[in-house]
Chain A
Amino acid sequence: MHLRDLLNEALAGMLARPVRSALTTLGTVLGITTLVITLGIAATAGNQIVGRFDELTATSITVEVPETKTPLVDWNAYTELTRLRGVTSAAAVAENKASSNLTVRSNRIVDPTRVTDQTLTVIAATPGLPEAAKGRMTQGRFFDAGHVERKDRVVVLGDQAAKLLGVTRLDEAPAVFIAGRAYTVIGVLGELRRDRSLGTAVIVPPSIGKLFGLRDVTRVLINTSLGAAELIAGQAPTALSPGNGDMLQVIAPPSPTRARDGVQDDVNGLFLILGLVSLVVGAVGIANVTLVTVMERVAEIGLRRSLGAARRHIAAQFLLESTLIGLTGGVIGACLGVVAVVAVSAAKQWTPVLDGQLALAAPVAGAVVGLLAGLYPSLRAARMEPVDALR
Chain B
Amino acid sequence: MPEPVIALEAVCRQFPADPPVHALAKVDLRVEPSDYLAIAGPSGSGKSTLLNILGLLDTPTSGSYRLDGIETTTLRDGGRTKLRGSRIGFVFQSFHLLSHRSVVENVMLAEVYGRHERRTRKERALRALDQVGMSHRVDFLPDRLSGGERQRCAIARALMGTPSLLLCDEPTGNLDSRNTAAVLDLFDDLRAQGLTIVVITHEDEVGARADRRVRITDGLLTEE
Contact = CB atoms under 8 A, between A and B. Distances in A.
B181 to A, nearest CB: 26
Contact of B113 (A12, A16, A299, A308): A308
Given A4-B118, A299-B96, A308 B86 contact: yes
Contacts of B105: 12
A366 to B, nearest CB: 25
B112 A9 contact: yes
A302 B96 contact: yes
A303 B109 CA distance: 10
A313 B81 CA distance: 11
Contacts, number: 72
B112 A16 contact: no
A1 to B, nearest CB: 5
* Residue of B77, B78, B81 ringed by the most chain A CB atoms within 10 A: B81
A303 B113 contact: no
Interface string B98-115: 111100010001101110
Contact of B118 (A2, A16, A311, A385): A2
Interface string B176-210: 00000000000000000000000000000000000
A306 B90 contact: yes
Contacts of A390: 57, 92, 96
A245 interface: no
Nearest to B77: A311
A15 B100 CA distance: 9
Nearest to A299: B96
Contacts of A302: 96
A386 B157 CA distance: 18
A304 interface: yes
B57 A307 contact: no
Nearest to A16: B100
A115 interface: no
A305 B52 CA distance: 12
A14 to B, nearest CB: 11
A9 B105 CA distance: 10
B52 A387 contact: yes
A309 interface: yes
Given A302-B96, A390-B92, A308 B57 contact: no
Nearest to B110: A307
A309 B101 contact: no
The secondary-structure label for the interface of chain A is helix
A348 B116 CA distance: 60
B148 interface: no
Contacts of A313: 113
B171 interface: no
Contacts of B84: 305-306, 308
Contacts of A306: 55, 57, 84, 88, 90
A5 B116 CA distance: 11
A306 B92 CA distance: 10
Interface string A279-312: 0000000000000000000011011111111110
Contacts of A311: 77, 81
Contacts of B112: 1-2, 5, 8-9, 307, 309
Given A5-B112, A390-B57, A307 B100 contact: no
Interface of A: 1-2, 4-5, 8-9, 12, 15-16, 299-300, 302-311, 313, 385-387, 390
21 contacts: A1-B113, A1-B114, A2-B112, A2-B118, A5-B112, A16-B100, A299-B94, A300-B98, A303-B92, A303-B96, A303-B98, A304-B113, A306-B55, A306-B90, A308-B81, A308-B82, A308-B85, A310-B77, A311-B77, A385-B57, A386-B57
Interface of B: 52, 55, 57-58, 77-78, 81-82, 84-86, 88, 90, 92, 94, 96, 98-101, 105, 109-110, 112-114, 118, 157, 161
Given A299-B96, A308-B161, 14 more contacts: A2-B118, A4-B118, A12-B105, A16-B100, A303-B92, A305-B81, A305-B84, A307-B90, A308-B81, A308-B113, A309-B85, A313-B113, A390-B57, A390-B96
